[in-house]
Structure 1
């Protein structure tokens, strides 16, 4: 019996797997029993700061043991964790803090200089050296019983408006996702270990709860690094991991071979067929792809290892598929034309709504989440994603909304009009290309973008035009830009 909430699951796992190693990361190792004890103490320490159940707590840190620990501790204390992607710009952090109504910040001390404005109005806890309450001092608190509340976290996404929207994730959403992750993890051996090689705030964090339930050791890398991944597999015993396609490409480009993983999952963006074949031949035959959204916690659909084997032999069309529903989420096509329409979803992994505004009512109608993705379903239930209803760019597994980039670049000196698109890229999935009119030099514009935008939102190419192609309504014709692959 693992319980109905993340806190109940941790309590069960701490007893069931007490002496086994739960975390092996930059801050050392700890057993399941030690993890359970520290989580209960950190939860008490957070509440001792004056935080009340339901309060939102900002979490800003790269991959650390404490990334997993704090995720569990906020839930244990009945608080709501608000992930801050450390790659975002400081203004993005401040917008999310304001929108969520956060009342405290837990941050890695290495971000002290960048968080000065953010910290000024909030009680703050520093992991490592940095101003504020020491994180380790929280562990001196006596353990507290867990205080489960429905809302466990707010996960922010740019959505379709370009502004961050907080997705409400409840315990039921996370538990439904955890149950469905069995289709991704497959059979797990007693010594299995999950490798957090990508950001825990991103796709890798989805595996915290499934790994806890199955008693898996969780190996934490500070950031993705080819040599560190190879060492974690060959020397530290990592058996399962999930990467974005860009990371898989990095492994292949570095000549990595024969990793022998029990599972290599990829998600966040399409992966070129030649990379799938190479990964299957050189990294592991146990490839799995899964699809989901911030608003619908993955896995919504899964293309499992057997599907990949079929795709590489008798059914090549499967490699273009996002897989089939795991059964916990209904997948349908809305208002299909020639079989293609908007992908809509229903089930326990679907968000209850957004934190603020009325966008949630527009996104979830009659119990169905309208994803903004266009796709079709085959007769045997495979989902094929054809395009996006909006202009969202997926680069390196991250979503980038063009309008945000356009608005930033348009404020640069010597820039007139700006249009940003994503073009296919074998390495990144899509690369961001910015077109502009005006007198600004490309190097000047690139330097401006580095100051104003998160690194993954910065265009990889800048192309100056005399005039833009226009459509019949007089708007910039992005379709024409895409049809020419950005070449005019």
Structure 2
């Protein structure tokens, strides 16, 4: 089944049930299905053809879910733009994918001026009052009959971008088959049971991120999706306590903020049937606090942009065991989802014995077809060979097929659930006059998982300051990527080949962080 048919099926089957409850009001499944159909027809009325790439820039709101499903329902390829990125990132993504249309929220009118200038103005659709074709008018002009296309399940429905190790965007291709595989495994392995009419998934964090994985599972089974406009831990507690929320997923940083809410306890959160977390490691003491104060129904899942989650799952039973007689389980990423294969291989691609460390590889319907514009790209470290995705992560499997992630082959930083590539930050820091050399590393952080630290040597007789470097980064890149800490150093440790020994730097800084926590 493709996305367009799934929406039409739910609109028929659950017509009178509440589908969405968000900043733009409430919608039944019938109303939601009609709007998605009108959007799909509206986009095709602009002359767009199957396979055309459509940029989508919105915060959390009802129309985000409409475009998430309506764009691929029209046979088009949706390219979601993270609103936290810098406009220069959006421009690079648009150029790389050859975008021919844009749907955007009016709140981003000023930031998208340059982006819009490169597109046919007739193919710029705006939600709200700003330059472009009005979204609501486009929908009103169309039929509400579903646009049911003959869709190959392996045709693309989306491109999901993250920065390459050189700072250039890399777009993981996502097919209808990929999303349907994720739907099945989210229900069977993460949610653990079929959502029903009394279940409410609350999008507490950005739908562009981990929360978006739950759009299809809850739509497919007639449950409600409650959309919070911004991340607010107090609002999430209210959603569970007073608005019937039963399921949600967060990154560990959000769970830390939730635990900081005064008087939050299991009584207030008793309606929560599932609290999923992903995107970064979570310290054992934070898992214990979440289990004791929030809910015993904790589920961790691991995945990648290139292998739509879940790849592996650490379920509620494993969490309970980990908090009693098997503490090592809390450091595991869990076992493969249904239909997902995971293996550990050496540098030659040969499977290693159980318990030995090697590269994590995975195979199944969740794995991307490949990267967009991959030819000639040396920075695309994750590749698909003979159906197996080589993830770039190092790990080991035990004899029960549980996966332990050990390290990353690269130097990627995960802060607050977001991937940050040091090279991209280093290139921006190096632009500051007087900077001689720079090394960016991720340092363990209790709140964020990791924080970005830049170590810098400066040219003689210059007056570079850490504050000036941070300000320069703030103006040139997304705020979450900029260094949280800049340190001026006299020199760097070097490895045997004369390169900066980043591993040694990380170890030194992590030892300092641990000493501070324990001090």
Check whether TM > 0.5: yes
Distance 1:139 1:346 in 2: 40
Preserved CA contact (<8 Å) 1:285 1:305: yes
Q: How does the TM-score come out when normalised to structure 1?
A: 0.97
Q: Helix, strand or coil: the match of 1:168?
A: strand
- Output the CA distance in 2 between the equivalents of 1:339 and 1:169: 31
The Cα of 1:198 is off from its aligned counterpart by 1.1
Given that residues 481 and 487 in structure 1 are in contact (C-alpha distance below 8 angstroms), is that contact kept between their aligned partners in structure 2? no
**Partner in structure 1 of residue 349 of structure 2:** none
SS at match of 1:238: coil
Matched residues in 2 for 1:361 and 1:291: separation?
19
1:127-186 CA-to-partner distances (Å, cap 9, x unmatched) read 112111111112111235222352101111224443211111111110011000121112
Is 1:464 equivalent to 2:488 in the alignment?
A: yes
Alignment of 1:208-219 (within 5 A): 208-219=215-226
Moved more, 144-153 or 314-323: 144-153
Q: CA deviation at 1:80?
A: 0.6
| Distance in 1, Cα, partners of 2:424 & 2:381 | 23
Cα distance in 2 for residues equivalent to 1:254 and 1:411? 41
Aligned residues: 485
Per the TM alignment, residue 487 of structure 1 is displaced from its structure 2 partner at its CA by: 7.2
Aligned to 1:146: 148
1:169 aligns with 2:193: no
Does residue 424 of the first structure (1) align with residue 444 of the second (2)? yes
Matched, 1:275 2:286: yes
> Structure 2 matches for 1:402-413, cutoff 5 A?
402-413=422-433
Find out whether 1:201 has 2:208 as its counterpart.
Answer: yes
Selected match of 1:74 from 71, 74, 78: 71
Match of 1:389 in 2: 409
RMSD: 1.5
Contact kept in structure 1, 2:233 and 2:258, CA below 8 Å: yes
Q: 1:21 aligns with which of 10, 18, 23?
A: 18
Q: Which residue of 2 aligns with 1:348?
A: 365
Alignment check: 8 A CA contact 2:395 2:405 kept: yes
**Contact 2:17 2:197 (C-alpha < 8 Å) held by counterparts:** no
Matched, 1:35 2:29: no
TM-score relative to the length of structure 2: 0.91
The 5-angstrom pairing of residues 114-193 of structure 1 reads: 114-122=111-119, 123-140=123-140, 141-143=142-144, 144-147=146-149, 148=151, 150-182=155-187, 183-187=189-193, 188-193=195-200
Structure 1 gaps, min length 5: none
Deviation at 1:327, TM superposition (A): 2.2
The Cα shift of 1:46 comes to: 1.0
1:228 is displaced (CA, Å) by 1.2
Say if 1:374 and 1:388, in contact at 8 Å, map to a contact too. Answer: yes
- Please state if 1:433 is matched with 2:453: yes
Structure 2 unmatched runs, 5+: 347-351, 513-519
SS at match of 1:484: helix
CA distance in 2, matches of 1:134, 1:236: 32
Is residue 54–residue 151 contact of structure 1 (8 Å, CA) maintained in 2? Answer: yes
Could you say what secondary structure the match of 1:155 adopts? strand
Shift of 1:455: 0.8
1:286 alignment counterpart? 297
Query: Shift of residue 10 of structure 1?
Result: 1.0
